[in-house]
Structure 1
Amino acid sequence: MTTLLPPSRLPAGLSIGPVELAVNDLQRSVTFYGQVLGLVVQEHTPVTATLGAGPRPLVRLTEVPGAAPAPVGSTGLYHLAMLLPTRADLARWVRHVSALGLRVGQSDHLVSEAFYLTDPDGHGIEVYRDRPRNEWRWTLDQVQMASDPIDIPDLLAEAGPEPYSHAPESTVMGHVHLRVSDLGPTETFYRTVLGFDVVARWPGALFVSVGGYHHHLGLNTWQSEGGKAAPDGTTALRNVDLTLPRQTDIDALASRLTAAGHAFTLERDSLIVTDPAGNRLTFATPQ
């Protein structure tokens, strides 16, 4: 019999990034993230590159030459989500990708307006802006989200003449969606053990956050129910970095994982853990 632990919430100051990805061709990916998303290279070695907005790292790429795509149905990254500061920034980005001739998906989620595309290796990407929090609608502890069409002409009217040449310095990794294999153990792990709040439930998906955000992580089985983590040597998710405000937060997380009997590793000031679907998370404090 499984004994559930009492809920323990993570602190509201959690932040996400960088998201670490394996890619087939490093220079191709660096060019894509620079030209399409406007990220700047912060560190570059022959096999790795870290890109971000201003000083903030958002994506870390590792080249795996000859890597095949992650198998269909495997767990891993569904998409990473880059949060732009304003609606005008999003409008300029939409105009920018349109000029590049790229096709993107789109959805009005009520709490946000979001656009979707994939990188050259098939990693999913969302670019979005949040509506003000006072416009989010909650039913008790559940936030209302939808997948409605965006009013594109109304959005583009806010772009103004300024081009989108780079991601604004206040751009952050707003959230990450992960593919998981089974929502039952996933909810136990993220809510009861790690300490996230479940803020929305959709068929085949959970959305979790801290501090009343609409979601820091999406967890879905839409393409991966019963699946396994992608094997090494494929272009798959390698890690999601999450930053907690204080070392005591890491210590408390380690205590909960120990009590739950869930394996983890401590390295210097970071805690590394793998969720039930094989997704690797690294919790650390600000450097």
Structure 2
Amino acid sequence: MTPTSTYRLHPDLSLGAAELTVSDLGRSVAFYEQVLGMTVLARGNGSAHLGTATRPLLRLTEVPGAAPAPRSAPGLYHFAVLLPTRVDLARWVRHAAGLGLRVGQGDHLVSEAFYLNDPDGHGIEVYRDRPRGDWRWNLDQVEMASDPIDIAGLLAEPGAEELFRGLPEGTVMGHFHLRVTDLAATEAFYRGVLGFDVVARWPGALFVSVGGYHHHFGLNAWQSEGGRPAPETAARLLGVELVLPSDAEVERLAGHLEAAGVAFTRDGNGLDVGDPAGNRLRFRATA
């Protein structure tokens, strides 16, 4: 693998759906409809696609009886659903409280986020971004933290008392946070090969993005350093989708990977490539 340092992913990259296996499709669909307010976009043959009315966010495939993936295995730490506004987040928080859910939370300076798990242990973040003008940068590194959220202030947002009626239009997949097995090899791939910018470093973790976002990927080896892949019988991550603005950008990436000696496979007009931990990145062009 010979990185080409001049290559950069297009700054208008966005994120598509996370692809997961689950142990009981009916249970998972009910959870994502009730708790996250997702819409079922398609269902059949042991799989389901969910998201907003116009945007897929999850693709689920049933592996009956699958046990949760080991935390020591590479794969999903969490996927992060980005709501359009703070009041949208407040309405979801009221909804989650009404369901009796226990959730984690953190004010990350760039965002306010809440955390939970689905029935198979897949990690979920629901968050809103602060305006980009409020983000603080130290040269090329963005300041992030894990401070307590001002819950009272959040719930006092004008309009927060209105019922949560499902994910609003404008909801997108904001970022993916993956478990990896070797942080140095991970940086060499995401930064040196794909051309992401490293925008923050924490002990045992990297955060990378393009286009000046606070992060499109979190990558940590907190529990998974040197870990072995989850068995195929586990409820696990199959892949994450990255969306480039044109077919030409997919072809540019394919040419770069070929020149760099990085193995990949073609899938229609897209391509699949594995990171050093075996996490599958599935690139496609905007539909």
Q: Under TM normalisation by the shorter chain, which class is it?
A: over 0.9
Q: Deviations over 1:233-261 (max 9, x none)?
A: 11000110111001221122112222222
What secondary structure does 1:218 align onto? Answer: strand
Question: Would you say the 8 A contact 1:78–1:178 is kept in 2?
Answer: yes
What secondary structure does 1:19 align onto? Answer: strand
Pairwise CA distance, 1:226: 0.8
Amino acid at match of 1:148: D
1:14 — aligned with what?
Answer: 13
Give me the whole-angstrom Cα distance separating, in 2, the residues matched to 1:8 and 1:92. Answer: 41
Pairwise CA distance, 1:3: 5.1
Matches within 5 A, 1:209-224: 209-224=209-224
Amino acid at match of 1:6: S
Amino acid at match of 1:174: G
2:234 — aligned with what?
Answer: 234
Give me the whole-angstrom Cα distance separating, in 2, the residues matched to 1:169 and 1:222. Answer: 35
Give me the whole-angstrom Cα distance separating, in 1, the residues matched to 2:95 and 2:278. Answer: 36
Pairwise CA distance, 1:194: 1.1
Give me the whole-angstrom Cα distance separating, in 1, the residues matched to 2:120 and 2:69. Answer: 9
Pairwise CA distance, 1:189: 0.6
Amino acid at match of 1:16: L
Pairwise CA distance, 1:46: 3.4
Pairwise CA distance, 1:4: 4.3
Pairwise CA distance, 1:112: 0.1
What secondary structure does 1:27 align onto? Answer: helix
Runs (4+) off by over 6 Å: none
Q: Deviations over 1:192-215 (max 9, x none)?
A: 111111111111111111100000
Structure 1 residue 86 and structure 2 residue 80: aligned? no
Question: Would you say the 8 A contact 1:228–1:278 is kept in 2?
Answer: no
What secondary structure does 1:55 align onto? Answer: coil
Give me the whole-angstrom Cα distance separating, in 2, the residues matched to 1:278 and 1:3. Answer: 18
Pairwise CA distance, 1:93: 0.4
What secondary structure does 2:178 align onto? Answer: strand
Question: Would you say the 8 A contact 2:88–2:160 is kept in 1?
Answer: no
What secondary structure does 1:215 align onto? Answer: coil
1:174 — aligned with what?
Answer: 174
Give me the whole-angstrom Cα distance separating, in 1, the residues matched to 2:5 and 2:241. Answer: 25
Q: Deviations over 1:101-139 (max 9, x none)?
A: 000000000000000000000000000000000000001
Which shows bigger deviation, 4-13 or 237-246? 4-13
Question: Would you say the 8 A contact 1:229–1:279 is kept in 2?
Answer: no
What secondary structure does 1:266 align onto? Answer: strand
1:263 — aligned with what?
Answer: 263
Question: Would you say the 8 A contact 2:2–2:261 is kept in 1?
Answer: no
User: Normalising by the residue count of structure 2, what TM-score does the alignment of the two structures yield?
Assistant: 0.97
Give me the whole-angstrom Cα distance separating, in 2, the residues matched to 1:48 and 1:160. Answer: 34
Pairwise CA distance, 1:92: 0.6
Give me the whole-angstrom Cα distance separating, in 2, the residues matched to 1:250 and 1:228. Answer: 30
2:102 — aligned with what?
Answer: 103
What secondary structure does 2:21 align onto? Answer: strand
Pairwise CA distance, 1:8: 1.8
Give me the whole-angstrom Cα distance separating, in 1, the residues matched to 2:240 and 2:196. Answer: 15
Give me the whole-angstrom Cα distance separating, in 2, the residues matched to 1:71 and 1:253. Answer: 32
Give me the whole-angstrom Cα distance separating, in 2, the residues matched to 1:6 and 1:124. Answer: 33
2:275 — aligned with what?
Answer: 275
2:115 — aligned with what?
Answer: 116
Matches within 5 A, 1:36-185: 36-158=35-157, 159-185=159-185
Give me the whole-angstrom Cα distance separating, in 1, the residues matched to 2:257 and 2:137. Answer: 30
Pairwise CA distance, 1:57: 0.3
Number of positions where the alignment pairs a residue of Structure 1 with one of Structure 2:
286
Amino acid at match of 1:21: L
What secondary structure does 1:222 align onto? Answer: coil
Query: 1:203 and 1:262, CA in 2 relative to 1: closer, same or farther beyond 3 A?
Result: same
Amino acid at match of 1:55: T
Residue segments in structure 2 that go unaligned for 5+ positions in a row? none
Give me the whole-angstrom Cα distance separating, in 2, the residues matched to 1:3 and 1:83. Answer: 35
Percent identity reads 65
Question: Would you say the 8 A contact 2:40–2:50 is kept in 1?
Answer: yes
1:30 — aligned with what?
Answer: 29
What secondary structure does 1:145 align onto? Answer: coil
Give me the whole-angstrom Cα distance separating, in 1, the residues matched to 2:116 and 2:200. Answer: 24
2:194 — aligned with what?
Answer: 194
- Alignment RMSD (CA, Å): 1.1
